[in-house]
């Protein structure tokens, strides 16, 4: 088990919440509905269906010198359904309000970003005193040309399993008029092909890890979610800045496990919804109010 967890950590480096994106656009509103279907790895082989709803709002304020005040609201509701003779259902919730600032150098070649991230991750069943987290992002961006920029930085979050530090590396590269790649590794990356003026398709990688505190009924233990997937997607503008998205993905790792409040390395039973299940297929549908974000002129 320790070797498996180490492999997951090395491959995904956990999830950096989608607060600073190395990508050639800005989504002022972004909603995704992710659906995953599988079976539990036990004698019952009961079906499991996980629906994950994510809504993100971005409110930037740009100043004359191109510096930007960053305010975001990120929310998630994950519902885990276990079918079979004794059906079970559990909900997990997350709300965060990242606030930060981006400073742009006079020659527009460098951008320095700092963000503070307060967060609530919980099943919202009782007192929330154990359910808060805090973290932040520090990021440096170098603009090499109108078609290429590189980002390096660090993400930190006080997860329920302890302090978590994540090195970040991102790239925006418009290879030509049809192909481009962008992403912040190790959490997400895309290789994209422009089909037409309004439609894109491509393949991507997504790694998403987070923790949720349970109620006192379950000893204030926490659920550790580990999710890695490869996907194929298509997206397009259907009306002005309104973008519709669809992807089909295969989970490489998908694990929800209950851990003890005091001993974070101890996995516990008692919630049959959060038990090992098989990797399988899923799909995501969503929409965004998107503004294309060309790189600044040098």
Q: Are 128 and 99 in contact (CB under 8 A)?
A: no
At 274, the pLDDT band (50, 70, 90 cuts) reads confident
User: Is the pLDDT score of 118 beyond 50?
Assistant: yes
**Position of tokens 């980002």?**
151
Cα–Cα distance, 167 to 110 (Å, whole number): 19
pTM assigned to the model? 0.86
Mean per-residue pLDDT for 87-110? 95
Q: Please give the pLDDT value at position 157.
A: 96
Q: Please give the pLDDT value at position 23.
A: 57
**Position of tokens 């709300």?**
95
Q: Would the CA dihedral through 108, 241, 283, 174 be positive or negative?
A: negative
**Position of tokens 């359904």?**
81
What radius of gyration do the chain's Cα atoms show? 20
Q: Which two tokens stand for residue 15?
A: 């999830």
Q: Which residue has the higher pLDDT, 88 or 80?
A: 80
Mean per-residue pLDDT for 179-198? 93
Q: Where are the domains of the chain?
A: 2-292
* Count of CB atoms situated within 10 Å of the CB of 63: 11
At 29, the pLDDT band (50, 70, 90 cuts) reads very high
Q: Which two tokens stand for residue 72?
A: 């975001």
Cα–Cα distance, 256 to 214 (Å, whole number): 13
Q: Please give the pLDDT value at position 127.
A: 87
Q: Are 12 and 254 in contact (CB under 8 A)?
A: no
Mean per-residue pLDDT for 214-218? 89
Q: Nearest Cα to 113, choosing from 73, 67, 158?
A: 67
What is the third-level CATH fold of 2-292? Porin (2.40.160)
In the predicted model, what is the mean pLDDT of the chain?
Answer: 88
Residues 250-273 as b/e (b if ≥16 CB within 10 A, e otherwise) read ebbbbbbbbbebeebeeeeeebeb
Most confident of 10-14, 248-252, 267-271: 248-252
User: Is the pLDDT score of 294 beyond 80?
Assistant: no
Q: How far is CA 190 from CA 43, 106, 158, 177, in A?
A: 38, 30, 28, 16
Q: Which residue has the higher pLDDT, 87 or 29?
A: 29
At 84, the pLDDT band (50, 70, 90 cuts) reads confident
């Amino acid at each position: 088990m320790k070797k498996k967890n180490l492999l997951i950590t090395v491959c995904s480096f956990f999830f950096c919440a989608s607060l600073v994106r190395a990508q050639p656009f800005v989504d002022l509103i972004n909603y995704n509905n992710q659906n995953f279907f599988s079976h539990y790895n036990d004698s019952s082989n009961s079906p499991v269906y996980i629906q994950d709803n994510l809504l993100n709002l971005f409110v930037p304020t740009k100043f004359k010198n191109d510096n930007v005040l960053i305010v975001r609201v990120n929310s998630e509701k994950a519902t885990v359904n276990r079918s079979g003779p004794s059906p079970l259902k559990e909900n997990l919730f997350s709300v965060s309000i990242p606030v930060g600032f981006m400073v742009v150098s006079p020659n527009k070649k460098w951008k320095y970003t700092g963000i503070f991230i307060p967060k609530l991750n919980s099943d919202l069943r009782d007192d929330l005193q154990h359910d808060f987290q805090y973290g932040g992002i520090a990021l440096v961006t170098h603009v090499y040309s109108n078609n290429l920029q590189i980002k390096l930085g660090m993400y930190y979050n006080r997860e329920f399993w302890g302090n978590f530090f994540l090195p970040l590396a991102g790239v925006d590269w418009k290879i030509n008029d049809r192909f481009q790649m962008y992403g912040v590794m190790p959490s997400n990356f895309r290789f994209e092909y422009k089909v037409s003026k309004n439609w894109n398709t491509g393949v991507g990688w997504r790694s998403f890890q987070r923790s949720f505190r349970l109620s006192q009924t379950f000893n204030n233990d926490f659920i550790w979610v580990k999710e890695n997937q490869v996907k194929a997607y298509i997206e397009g503008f259907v009306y002005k800045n309104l973008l519709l998205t669809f992807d089909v993905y295969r989970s490489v790792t998908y694990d929800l496990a209950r851990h003890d409040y005091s001993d974070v390395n101890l996995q516990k039973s008692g919630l049959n919804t959060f038990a090992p299940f098989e990797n399988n297929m899923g799909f995501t549908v969503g929409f965004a109010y998107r503004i294309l974000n060309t790189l600044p002129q040098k």
